[in-house]
């Protein structure tokens, strides 16, 4: 799907992180049972997102013509920490555009973790060339919910 004209993907600034927190919360709430219950309050999530270190990590924001944040991808080294899209624009190509940008900024590849129950995200990532490389019972995450690691590696021509 096409994002249309006037949509911009760029590195977010510190002052824009509160908008990222709202997209994160809205997307998680709208996903319902795809996510296990959060172990943090919305207030704690907002404080956590505002604390992200933009000198170490890259947060790519997708902004509409109106300047409103439609989604974001948070990248730390070669790990996609999260990709969240405002539920009002899901299915419009925002997630695909953000993931394509992540592939550009991580040309050697990257990985991510997703909950097993988040089947829509798993299908989305698989459709964009990521493959499952590890599955756990969730003992290593805060929610204690089964998850899996997916990875994308740029395929290089042989020879």
CATH number at residue 55: 3.40.630.30
123 is a domain residue: yes
The closest alpha carbon to 53, from 14, 94, 93, belongs to 14
158 is a domain residue: no
Does position 144 have pLDDT exceeding 50, yes or no? yes
88 is a domain residue: yes
Residues 6+ apart with CB under 8 A from 83: 71, 72, 73, 74, 95, 98, 99, 102, 112
Q: Which domain holds residue 89?
A: 8-152
| Number of domains making up the chain | 1
Does position 1 have pLDDT exceeding 80, yes or no? no
Q: Could you list the beta-strand ranges (E) of 34-144.
A: 58-63, 69-76, 79-85, 110-115, 131-136
pLDDT value for 155: 67
pLDDT value for 117: 97
pTM of the model: 0.92
- Burial label for 39, CB within 10 Å (0-12, 13-18, 19+), is exposed
Helix (H, G, I), strand (E, B) or coil at 74: strand
24 is a domain residue: yes
């Amino acid at each position: 799907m096409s994002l249309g004209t006037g949509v911009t993907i760029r590195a977010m600034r510190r002052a824009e992180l509160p908008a990222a927190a709202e997209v994160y919360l809205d997307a998680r709430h709208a996903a319902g049972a795809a996510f296990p219950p959060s172990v943090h309050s919305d207030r704690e999530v907002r404080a956590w997102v505002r604390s992200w270190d933009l000198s170490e990590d890259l947060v790519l924001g997708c902004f509409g013509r109106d300047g409103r944040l439609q989604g974001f991808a948070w990248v730390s080294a070669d790990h996609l920490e999260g990709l969240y899209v405002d539920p009002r624009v899901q299915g419009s190509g925002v997630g695909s555009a953000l993931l394509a940008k992540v592939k550009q900024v991580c040309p050697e590849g990257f990985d991510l973790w997703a909950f097993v129950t988040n089947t829509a995200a798993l299908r989305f990532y698989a459709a964009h060339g990521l493959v499952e490389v590890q599955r756990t019972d969730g003992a290593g995450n805060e929610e204690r919910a089964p998850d899996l690691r997916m990875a994308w590696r740029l395929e290089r021509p042989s020879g």
